[in-house]
Structure 1
Amino acid sequence: MTLDSLYGLTGARLLDLYAGSGAIGLEALSRGAKEAVLVESDPKAVRTIKENVRSLGLDGATVIADKVERVLAKPPAEPYDIVFADPPYAVSDEEVQRTLESLRDNGWLLDEALVAFERESRGKALMWPEGYVEERVRRYGEASVWYGRAAGNP
């Protein structure tokens, strides 16, 4: 897992947006993350995540069956150390920007939180809004992951 090899996960609180099967969040828990909150709107994917949580027997997983934009509209109980987002490639660049802004503006990020956003490699480069500092981009064939840091909450 690149997040672990680049940044370390021990004791981290991770928010997994557009969680799909839950692989990222569950892998983070298996590598020492304290908590993983997995947000997914597709009912079939939510069932898969819940089955995976049960079969792996990992503590610290919370599954939220809702749209990312609705979840991020309200502040969390506590901010997160790491956010991983892997939206469908059909999600517009504008929606990606709104997601990053909601994370920043609604208290989802600790100062210096790591934010990783997966997008299609052939698409436009991710434009980080104010309040973020880009760290690196990793390309993996058809997908690229942009890594940035929250530069302090406004």
Structure 2
Amino acid sequence: MRIITGSARGCNLKTPKGMNTRPTSDRVKESLFSILGREVVGKRILDIFAGTGGLGLEALSRGADHACLVDKATADILKYNAEHTHLADKTEIFRGDVFSIMGRLSAQGRRFDLVFCDPPYHIGLWEKALSWLDSSDILADEALVIVEMGGDENNIPELVHMRLLRNQQYGKTTQIYIFEYRTSIEQLELEKDDMEMRK
């Protein structure tokens, strides 16, 4: 695991022992950030179920302003990786339940432009997180939510403020969904109707 490009290019990331944490592979990460391009520059990042912090730190290396990295089990590794990549001054690390911490950040009036959600596969966490984000006010208008899930997972919950922009399959084991969040439901419906007419 490493930072692929940017200010921390080539820095190796410490990974937890055992299989409870499954870091995003360099191949998937490189493909994802190629899709995002300069969308990360200047953005406020929320990386939930952060694990090694590879996604949030990659975004910082590529020009994001700030990142909150949240995980209940890997805070020490997140701290090490933030310091090792010389990105600690742009990073906040939170140890604890993801939903409790997001609730606290929301209550503080924090807003994020880009969310990475990469929980363990097949236990319903990404669906729960997506529903939580959709009904909260923690996202800025036009925020992007990036969800990594198992290759056979596709039970997207009913969403009010989000539309699916893209999904990308990586072999049989992994896929990425990219959603856009809009505070205005009316504008979102207009955009969905426009997309349907173009099909």
What TM-score do the two structures reach when normalised by structure 1?
0.87
Of 55, 78, 87, the residue aligned with 1:49 is 78
Match of 2:153 in 1: 123
Of 73, 77, 81, the residue aligned with 2:109 is 77
Q: Is the 8 A contact 1:137 1:144 kept in 2?
A: yes
User: Higher helix fraction: Structure 1 or Structure 2?
Assistant: 2
**Cα separation, 2, equivalents of 1:27 and 1:131:** 27
User: Higher strand fraction: Structure 1 or Structure 2?
Assistant: 1
The CA deviation at 1:78 is 2.2
**Cα separation, 1, equivalents of 2:95 and 2:122:** 20
CA RMSD of aligned residues (A): 1.8
Deviates most, 54-63 or 123-132? 123-132
In the alignment of these two chains, the number of paired residues is 150
The residue identity in structure 2 corresponding to 1:105 is S
**Cα separation, 2, equivalents of 1:108 and 1:2:** 27
- Structure 1 alignment gaps of length 5 or more: none
Q: Is the 8 A contact 1:85 1:118 kept in 2?
A: yes
The residue identity in structure 2 corresponding to 1:111 is D
Match of 2:19 in 1: none
Residue identity (%)? 30
The residue identity in structure 2 corresponding to 1:135 is L
Match of 1:30 in 2: 61
Which of the two has higher C-alpha Rg?
Answer: 2
Q: Is the 8 A contact 1:18 1:85 kept in 2?
A: yes
Of structures 1 and 2, the one with the larger relative CO (CA 8 A, separation 6+) is: 1
- Structure 2 alignment gaps of length 5 or more: 1-29, 186-199
The CA deviation at 1:103 is 1.8
Residue 134 of structure 2 aligns to a residue whose secondary structure is: helix
What TM-score do the two structures reach when normalised by structure 2?
0.69
